[in-house]
Amino acid sequence: MALLNSPKTYGAVAKLLHWLIALAIIGMLAAGKYMTDLEIGQDRFDLTQLHKSIGLTILGLTVLRILWRLVNRQPALPAHMGALERLAAKGTHLVFYFLMLAIPLSGWALASASKYNIPTVYFGTVEVPHLPYISTLPRDEKKDAEDIAEDAHEMLANLMIVLLALHIAAALKHHVWDRDDVLTRMLPFRRHQE
Ligand code: HEM
């Protein structure tokens, strides 16, 4: 399988980044909801540390993915798609990129605004600095920042759940209804006719 995208299909790098990020985000959405329902204690602390490490990894992979996309042509959309459907597809993808950046950044802001000043230790190795400005706010302003970041993180995560459902429904519609290659050209281990 080629590393680069071709005019008709995705290459190995784009596929790897797509599936790594997709699986990590789905796991993080479920684990995030589970974690915040736990009582304060060691389990919640450990899970939150893991959550922050995986979230920062998603942020890094998303930056790589955007750079890769900028230097790589995108496979064309099928000719049968009308202008409105093309616009919906491109709009959804743009919102996905926004959320893949905004969710981890709002989480980072939330961790930085915490009144307990809990360090973020990346997979138990190095300490990741808190975001500048937020972490040095006076106590009462920090509380406001924490509330805003918490609401934003939760709201954006909920929006991601809705968008994921639409994305999966659209991919299945292409496969089952339109019988085109929009789904299969992103599947791993699948050779594609050039
Ligand atoms: C794509 C990446 C991420 C996803 C999908 C995600 C998702 C979530 C979700 C669903 C929750 C629960 C929200 C709720 O219902 O209250 C949550 C909580 C939280 N997240 Fe994230 N998150 C991500 C990245 C991050 C990052 C990078 C950090 C910090 C560096 C972070 C820090 C937190 C914290 C501190 C909480 C609250 C924990 C608590 O209240 O005990 N998240 N996240």
49 within a domain of the structure (yes/no) = yes
192 within a domain of the structure (yes/no) = no
Return all residues near 81 (Cβ < 8 A) that are at least 6 apart.
89
Please list the rounded mean pLDDT of every run of 10 residues in the chain (194 residues).
Answer: 91 97 98 96 96 98 97 92 95 97 98 93 98 92 96 98 97 93 88 60
Q: Whose CA is nearest to atom 37 of ligand 1?
A: 36
**Verdict on whether the full-model pTM lies above 0.75:** yes
Number of residues that make up the chain: 194
* Phi, psi dihedrals of residue 90, rounded to the nearest 5°: -65, -40
35 within a domain of the structure (yes/no) = yes
Q: Report the nearest atom of ligand 1 relative to the CA of 29.
A: 10
Count CB neighbours of 135 within 10 A: 16
Predicted pLDDT of residue 176: 95
Cβ of 48 less than 6 Å from ligand 1: yes
Cβ of 108 less than 6 Å from ligand 1: yes
Task: Report residue 163 as tokens.
Answer: 């968008």
2 within a domain of the structure (yes/no) = no
Cβ of 113 less than 6 Å from ligand 1: no
Q: How many domains does the chain have?
A: 1
The beta-strand segments (E) located in 63-167 are 120-122, 126-128
Residues of the domain holding 81: 12-186
66 within a domain of the structure (yes/no) = yes
CATH number at residue 162: 1.20.950
